[in-house]
Structure 1
Amino acid sequence: MSTPATTDDEHQRLIAQSDTLRQEIEDDVKATQPLTSELLPISSLLEHYTNDGGAAGFVRSATYLATRYTSMRKIRGDGNCFYRAFLYSLCEHLLRSLILEGQADEFERLDAFVKGSLKWSTECGYDEFTIESTLNRKCFDLCYELSTFSKLVLTNEQSVFYDELVEIFEYIGASGKEMATDGSARQSRLDASLSGLRERLNVENGPSESCTWYMRVLTACEMKSNPDQYLPYVMGEDYMDVPSFCSREVEPMGRECTMVQVAALAACLGVGVAVEYMDGRMGEGGEVVRHEFGCGGDAAGGRTRVTLLYRPGHYDILY
């Protein structure tokens, strides 16, 4: 009769060890990786692979990328890197367009979409109070730990999801209102606004987490609204329907994304995403394979395009 108890004790011990190891890894990631890094020279990518004795394919890829880009920004590798990189790069593009070029059309389009997205998300099955109401930070951390936001205990304290994203867009809009007359002044204003953006989106357990999860909600809404379009890709990931895929692979914080989530978020916001796919292999012409999603880069439409670097399991931003 003692054997089952011993087996159960051993099982619990292994679970505890696994939890401890996972927490140590998460703590190390937080201690060593900011949510978003400072702007880094693209040469740092080549230096990384050269100094670490990287595979020849990655060295060649880094060498090629150094001919196309000047800078990069690293994103924390916590499973949320695509959504975080997408949002950060999108906000940067909007600030540049408003301040340097005086172009407000794209910002106004996306601002209207974001402010109207709460109604859409509730129509897709998400609870309005979960998304809009204020949420105790301990509850947020617990839900992050459990990788689910399906059931939340609401309070009247700190963070929000939808409202946090709206506030980020309000910051962008306010930054673009005071137009400088000469190029030097505009650049100075842009630099200050970009610094303020990084400060807002680099706070530990701050707006970046809420906005990142809301990016996941929008991705899931896009997929649920157009299930026939995404079902073939979902079935390729061994899921029988889109809602099941979203509940397991899109909504939970910390879940890495595949190309279908990239395509869905690009389509949802009507922007483009260019991904330089750095996996150690080169294209036939000696280039890094590049994937394009969405409608960005259309000069006639003036739509935003964000450019990301993909390495196995991780996304960063390219400039």
Structure 2
Amino acid sequence: MQNQEGNAVDADTVTLTSIQTSEIDEWENFKDDDIMLQQSAIQAEEAEKIPFVGDKEPLSSLAVEYKSGNAILLEKIEVLIKQYAAIRRTRGDGNCFFRSFMFAYLEHILESQDRAEADRITVSVEQCRKTLLSLGFAEFTFEDFFALFLEQLENVFQGSEGSISHDELVQRSREQSLSDYVVMFFRFVASGEIRKRSEFYEPFIQGLTNTSVEQFCKSMVEPMGEESDHVHITALSEALGVPIRVVYLDRSSCDNGNVIVNHHDFIPSTRGDLTNGNDGGSETLKPFITMLYRPGHYDILYHK
């Protein structure tokens, strides 16, 4: 075989060069979006190996997880261990905030048997239903999700025919159809709240994305698998009247050299009964749901 100058060229060399050129062309066509999709597929496959809701485990397990990691993270975990006893992990599938909230709230009602709180949130759920209807949602698109949540809420009360134990609550939370339905209930609740008070939420949404409030709800709140941020948490807390504490485990450090674990309490403005009126004070009650946030993921924390 000869090249264009008439010199002899080995056939194997031509073949190898052709393969290399073809590989380069294919790599150039393999855009960043393709790489991100491939990474997402790998992450999704790994996530499926983890239960939707895990078993409660000592918080010291976090120290083991990060033993070879950042020194600041390890110091913050030591601070957390002094305040919190355990962690319950949830699957990192984009629904971890709503899944964590679902389990933590139902677990709280099961353990406290707080009928007054259950009655209060039932009223809030009915208001959320009316909100969605007023926004033009067809009732058939969300009624099953609402009904299932209220059924689970009633089942955690002991003494009734359908009452369940704590172990049964864990098992139900791991059943995909049931667990996903309750997650969808919370997503509809959050979307309804954001749409209803669009003027309030719009500046926050604009800080995250250039989309409109409606588009934000359609693409980042209502679909399964879309991750949550402070807008979602604020909306769910406000709509249902449930205070939530989020503890942040990140690499941020303090100027004075002290290690501090930051947290933020989402206190719903709709809950006038959250103020301590017995002594005329204005101290707000502490949230009874606490989540640990690591970049991109939420788990449940338990106080000592």
- In the TM superposition, residue 116 of structure 1 has moved relative to its aligned partner by 5.2
**CA distance, structure 2, for counterparts of residue 66 and residue 14 of structure 1:** 40
The aligned amino acid for 1:247 is K
Which residue of 1 is the match for residue 167 of structure 2? 195
2:102 to 74, 79, 87: 87
**CA distance, structure 1, for counterparts of residue 173 and residue 81 of structure 2:** 27
- Cα RMSD of the aligned pairs, angstroms, is 3.0
Residues 41-96 of structure 1, C-alpha deviation per residue, up to 9 Å, x if partnerless? 1111111111xx11011101111100000011001000110011011111111112
- In the TM superposition, residue 127 of structure 1 has moved relative to its aligned partner by 2.2
**CA distance, structure 2, for counterparts of residue 104 and residue 262 of structure 1:** 24
Residues 236-259 of structure 1, C-alpha deviation per residue, up to 9 Å, x if partnerless? 113353212111211111111111
- In the TM superposition, residue 164 of structure 1 has moved relative to its aligned partner by 1.9
- After superposition, the Cα gap between the structure-2 partners of 1:45 and 1:24, relative to the gap in structure 1 and judged at 3 Å, is closer
**CA distance, structure 2, for counterparts of residue 71 and residue 29 of structure 1:** 21
Which residue of 1 is the match for residue 296 of structure 2? 313
Which residue of 2 is the match for residue 44 of structure 1? 61
- In the TM superposition, residue 199 of structure 1 has moved relative to its aligned partner by 1.1
**CA distance, structure 1, for counterparts of residue 199 and residue 74 of structure 2:** 40
Indicate the SS of the match to 2:82: coil
Which residue of 1 is the match for residue 265 of structure 2? 292
1:123 to 111, 134, 158: 134
Contact persistence 1:216–1:250 (CA under 8 A): yes
Residues 208-235 of structure 1, C-alpha deviation per residue, up to 9 Å, x if partnerless? 1011011111001111111121111011
**CA distance, structure 2, for counterparts of residue 24 and residue 272 of structure 1:** 35
Note the residue ranges of structure 1 that are not aligned, 5 or more in a row. Answer: 1-6, 133-159, 179-188
- In the TM superposition, residue 22 of structure 1 has moved relative to its aligned partner by 4.4
Which residue of 2 is the match for residue 139 of structure 1? none
Note the residue ranges of structure 2 that are not aligned, 5 or more in a row. Answer: 1-24, 278-283
Greater gyration radius: 2
Which residue of 1 is the match for residue 216 of structure 2? 245
Taking structure 1 as the reference length, the TM-score comes to: 0.74
Which residue of 2 is the match for residue 280 of structure 1? 251
Residues 138-167 of structure 1, C-alpha deviation per residue, up to 9 Å, x if partnerless? xxxxxxxxxxxxxxxxxxxxxx42222122
**CA distance, structure 2, for counterparts of residue 251 and residue 171 of structure 1:** 26
- In the TM superposition, residue 20 of structure 1 has moved relative to its aligned partner by 6.8
Which residue of 1 is the match for residue 74 of structure 2? 59
**CA distance, structure 2, for counterparts of residue 167 and residue 107 of structure 1:** 11
Contact persistence 2:245–2:287 (CA under 8 A): no
- In the TM superposition, residue 125 of structure 1 has moved relative to its aligned partner by 3.0
Which residue of 1 is the match for residue 147 of structure 2? 163
- In the TM superposition, residue 25 of structure 1 has moved relative to its aligned partner by 3.6
**CA distance, structure 1, for counterparts of residue 54 and residue 147 of structure 2:** 25
Which residue of 2 is the match for residue 220 of structure 1? 191
- In the TM superposition, residue 314 of structure 1 has moved relative to its aligned partner by 0.2
The aligned amino acid for 2:266 is F
Indicate the SS of the match to 1:276: strand
Contact persistence 2:124–2:239 (CA under 8 A): no
- After superposition, the Cα gap between the structure-2 partners of 1:122 and 1:14, relative to the gap in structure 1 and judged at 3 Å, is same
**CA distance, structure 1, for counterparts of residue 29 and residue 138 of structure 2:** 36
**CA distance, structure 2, for counterparts of residue 305 and residue 85 of structure 1:** 13
- After superposition, the Cα gap between the structure-2 partners of 1:113 and 1:172, relative to the gap in structure 1 and judged at 3 Å, is farther
- In the TM superposition, residue 19 of structure 1 has moved relative to its aligned partner by 6.3
**CA distance, structure 1, for counterparts of residue 202 and residue 35 of structure 2:** 38
- The share of aligned pairs that are identical, in percent, is 31
The aligned amino acid for 2:169 is L
**CA distance, structure 1, for counterparts of residue 201 and residue 227 of structure 2:** 17
Indicate the SS of the match to 1:38: strand
Contact persistence 1:270–1:303 (CA under 8 A): no
2:44 to 23, 26, 31: 26
Contact persistence 1:80–1:212 (CA under 8 A): yes
Indicate the SS of the match to 2:118: helix
- After superposition, the Cα gap between the structure-2 partners of 1:202 and 1:287, relative to the gap in structure 1 and judged at 3 Å, is same
Contact persistence 1:106–1:302 (CA under 8 A): no
Which residue of 1 is the match for residue 182 of structure 2? 211
**CA distance, structure 2, for counterparts of residue 163 and residue 77 of structure 1:** 26
**CA distance, structure 2, for counterparts of residue 104 and residue 82 of structure 1:** 25
Contact persistence 1:90–1:304 (CA under 8 A): no
